[in-house]
Chains A and B, each alone.
Chain A
């Protein structure tokens, strides 16, 4: 058994412990499960692999979770700092390295794997990004923080 697979097994056990120690993990936790193994799938992929949106819909035994994990592992994460900056640049009308905070909120709220307002508030808090007087943020530092990954694990 590879080291990675062993890690995944332990994460499954941890989730199972919290789920009632019955050998099954609720499918709505698939996303979190994968993230705790170090993978970072999109919401769309999570659903494709078998995750559900709501609690109580489906219960997955280890074998199924393992299969989902293997699928998720196969997908390569290809975005680099450069790609990121390019994307932000398109919002940066004045080319000064700033983007309006409101626009970023809108972007996170309306596109991709949408986030709620309170989740966006959290992001601002965790990355310690500050709006200037005109409501803009310097996106370079923000990108750096995000690429750095979540702290402490």
Chain B
């Protein structure tokens, strides 16, 4: 049966990166469509009327929104290769807890480092604490999923391409504070799915600098 998979995305989105990685891990062919977030397409507005946000996964015409939900959908729809979530209920719950933690804590705090005036120092400090919590959860495991790269790794790795942004505007060194996490990120980058999905760090930093100028923060 002919499958049609479309991904509405934005190159710098760490949430979009999750889906690029998941689809790549599953060897799913898809049509990548870059969205202009300041001039959203009618397709995006039609497919995600509630949030009007990317990424949107459109499978045979039906949209799935919210990146963690999309990863699970991808895992269940294409179950043959590279399972992304554990099948054991407790391990699965554990993975979902940490991915949800990443969504609740990492993004909100990280954004305050570069997008909010006067909050950089405080936000950067909180951000390091959050990364340390994640580092402690990682422990000595190869990946958050233990031996297998999976859901939690996919949830977090996109932020690595933004580390340059947080270091520059938060005046912090993530490498010196969270070296184990950096080592984990480099292991993830050895995977083709990740290397292809993440943009160059400098490109992201340039983009954010431009955004800050437009927001009157520079």
A in complex with B: no
Question: Which A residues are within 8 Å of any B CB, using their own CB?
Answer: none
